[in-house]
Amino acid sequence: MSEFKRTLNVLEQLTSYWTSPLEWNSRQGKVLYCSSRKKLLPWLIVLLFCGIQVTTCCLVLGLQFFGMMHLPMMNILFAMGLCGFQAFTFFVEVAKLLCGKMNSQVFGELLVLDGMFKKANFVPLRSKMAWYWGTNGHELFRCRLGRYLVEIIYYLYLLPYFYTALEIYFGLDRFSQIYAYLISIKITPAGGIVQKLAKLVQLLLSYGSIFCYMLASSSFSGVATIIVIVGTVMHGCLSHFANCVKNKFDPARLKQILIGYTMIEILLEIVHQLASAFTLILMTLGSLSSILCNFASVKMHRKIPMPLYLVCPSLAVVIILSIQIILAAGINVYEVASLIKQGFQKNLHFGGDIKYMKRRVRAIRVLRVYGGLFQFDIYTLKRSTKSTYFYNILNYTINVCLSVDV
């Protein structure tokens, strides 16, 4: 956990542009919820401007759809990608404000639970992704995962500054597109004072987009870091339970395992609705952005200017690796919880009140992470989910590359 705390400290230093509803406090070692209106005022202004960005992107795509604007394919792809990322940022920040207090308490309880079982000497189960990093131990896997998260945070921290300058220089931001393809052609007369004022407003809005990109980078970095830390902590605790139920234990020891397992089940149930919505939105956005970046990397290397084109393949690699890491955090919960359920069922003869223990074991539900929306669970994260998910990304990428001509 110390490696992940260093990751959170780096996240706090690089993304502390303004006070947000949820922040990591390195001095207290916990996630704090801020509800002060004065402190949240800069964050709220940037959030409103982010909402304006999403509305503007939808306006550009709508005008293109109805034939009122005629944009090149490159401009349409950039508008679609930015609309998705900004909409995700807006959703994350609003969720921080509305559900941040509850989530900070759940995260604190998980850290307490991790500290309880960290004192015990045990060998955790091998991580489902340990093969990818070439390690056999869970602690080494944690350290390398923490370093990877730090690299992702640095990448997303530097990306807005380069991307904003290149986007404005090549005229690919949505305000430049509205001015170039709509206002300067169909609305304002050429060379008039109104056109100059419109150009000035367009430049101010375009350069102000950097604040939205900074908010988006901090939101994605925070979400990815928190998901990986929560998944790793739960995987460590559940691995401890799974190793314990392999052997015969006295009823008192088994009761402690049941209590710890029930605590994790309760914490997952508290954040179930928000976690399922985040799972569905993250997987949808991850697949669409991966397909979009792969398509731009393969088909548009001659259309996109070279300094800006380098963002596409690098972002495609970061997205695939992030999906691999974040998806494993949810899959491991179900896979290890299934082993615990099987271990309980095979070891129901350790003396004591056996009937009581049988009732407790029958009441155990295999923990799992769902993907759904509006309290409807659509699917469960299992080992087969990852293969199906990556197959769909590859399949749709090939179909788009073969069917779309640029």
Of 359, 373, 365, 377, the residue nearest 334 (C-alpha): 365
Query: Cα 303–307–312 angle (5° rounding)?
Result: 70
CA gap 131, 133 in Å, rounded: 6
Query: Could you tell me the maximum CA-CA distance found in the chain, to the nearest angstrom?
Result: 91
Which band of pLDDT confidence, cut at 50, 70 and 90, is reported for residue 399? very high
Of 224, 216, 239, the residue nearest 146 (C-alpha): 224
CA gap 328, 207 in Å, rounded: 38
Tell me the pLDDT of the chain averaged across its residues. Answer: 77
Mean pLDDT lowest for which of 3-12, 42-51, 93-102, 255-264? 3-12
pLDDT confidence of residue 1 = 54
What mean pLDDT is predicted for residues 229-254? 74
What mean pLDDT is predicted for residues 113-118? 67
pLDDT higher at 297 or 14: 297
What mean pLDDT is predicted for residues 380-394? 89
Q: Where are the beta strands (DSSP E) in 245-373?
A: 370-373
Share of the chain above pLDDT 70, in %: 81
- Residue-wise pLDDT for 306-358, tens only, equals 888 888 888 888 888 888 888 888 888 888 888 877 777 776 655 555 666 66
Q: How far is CA 92 from the centre of its chain?
A: 9
**Is residue 124 over pLDDT 70?**
no
- Residue-wise pLDDT for 10-49, tens only, equals 777 777 777 788 777 777 777 778 877 788 888 888 888 8
Residue 58: CB atoms within 10 A of its CB come to 14
Q: Map tokens 């990608």 to a residue.
A: 81
Sequential DSSP letters for 9-71? HHHHHHS-SS--SEEEETTTTEEEE---HHHHHHHHHHHHHHHHHHHHHHHHHHHHHTTS---
pLDDT higher at 139 or 220: 220
Residues paired with residue 224 on neighbouring β-strands, in sequence order: none
**Is residue 178 over pLDDT 90?**
no
Question: Is pTM, for the whole model, over 0.85?
Answer: no
Query: What's the Cα-to-Cα distance from 250 to each of 161, 245, 256, 349, 351, rounded to whole Å?
Result: 59, 11, 10, 10, 7
Query: What's the Cα-to-Cα distance from 197 to each of 182, 203, 204, 268, 298, rounded to whole Å?
Result: 15, 10, 11, 53, 39
CA gap 167, 19 in Å, rounded: 27
Query: What's the Cα-to-Cα distance from 355 to each of 78, 196, 244, 338, rounded to whole Å?
Result: 62, 83, 20, 22
Which band of pLDDT confidence, cut at 50, 70 and 90, is reported for residue 392? very high
pLDDT confidence of residue 212 = 85
pLDDT confidence of residue 251 = 64
